[in-house]
Amino acid sequence: MKKTILAFVMIFTIPHVTWARPKAVILFRHGEEPKDKSSNHLSETGYLRAQLLPQLFETNSVLKKLGLPVALFAAGAKNKNKSIRSIETLVPLSLVLKIPINDRFIRDDFHNMTNEINNNPDYDDQVVVVTWTHKILKDIAEDVGLKKAPTYPSGQFDRIWVITFDGGKKGQKAVLQDLPQQLLPGDSKK
């Protein structure tokens, strides 16, 4: 009898650990920047790419299969002198999907952002989009669960990384698909 009561108490009083894991995390670099880097904003080409990003979720077979994102993350600007290109890149997608952009994490605070993505039950088995500087995309990919991410090429703006999780649960293998956006003339074909 004592063992039964002890087992009952343990089952119902010890907190159960639940893991949240998105179905997919989609990473892409912000749109093109001015060639002379004289501005913290997108270039004309970058704005055009941003305007076309919502089409990816209609035309790309991988993204169509995953479904629409429930959250959008962009690197926040630390102050008025910092780049807001990641935010500007997501504005058209945010307007189409009617989802706010979460920009409360600044560029180097990506560990806290990935912690939220990995553990927020609102994102469990959902699609999350992250737009950041190319220099940190590798680190973000590894933080969300990829064992060894490649380095994102510095001169490239036309790729998307789709990280999916086998079974959608914590501890499951993360798989990276590096896909072309194919939004603008001259974009990668494969």
Is 188 among the domain residues?
A: no
pLDDT band (50, 70, 90) for residue 7 = very low
Query: Number of folded domains in the chain?
Result: 1
User: What value, to the nearest 5°, has the Cα angle with vertex 101 and ends 95 and 103?
Assistant: 150
Q: What is the pLDDT of residues 112-144, one digit of tens each?
A: 999 999 999 999 999 999 999 999 999 999 999
Is 42 among the domain residues?
A: yes
Is 26 among the domain residues?
A: yes
In order of 41, 81, 184, the CA distances from 180 in angstroms are 23, 31, 11
Name, in order, each residue with C-beta under 8 angstroms of 154's C-beta and a sequence gap of 6 or more.
134, 135
- Alpha-carbon 133 to chain mean position: 12
Is 2 among the domain residues?
A: no
Is 7 among the domain residues?
A: no
For the domain that residue 67 is a member of, what is the CATH number? Answer: 3.40.50.1240
pLDDT of residue 64 exceeding 90 = yes
Is 38 among the domain residues?
A: yes
pLDDT of residue 13 exceeding 80 = no
Tokens matching residue 141: 């990919």
> What is the average per-residue pLDDT within 49-77?
96
User: Any idea which of 12-16, 29-33, 59-63 has the lowest mean pLDDT?
Assistant: 12-16
Is 48 among the domain residues?
A: yes
Q: Are the beta carbons of 117 and 19 closer than 8 angstroms?
A: no
pLDDT of residue 18 exceeding 60 = no
Domain that holds residue 32: 19-180
What pLDDT score does 5 carry?
47
Nearest to 126 by CA among 28, 56, 24: 24
Is 173 among the domain residues?
A: yes
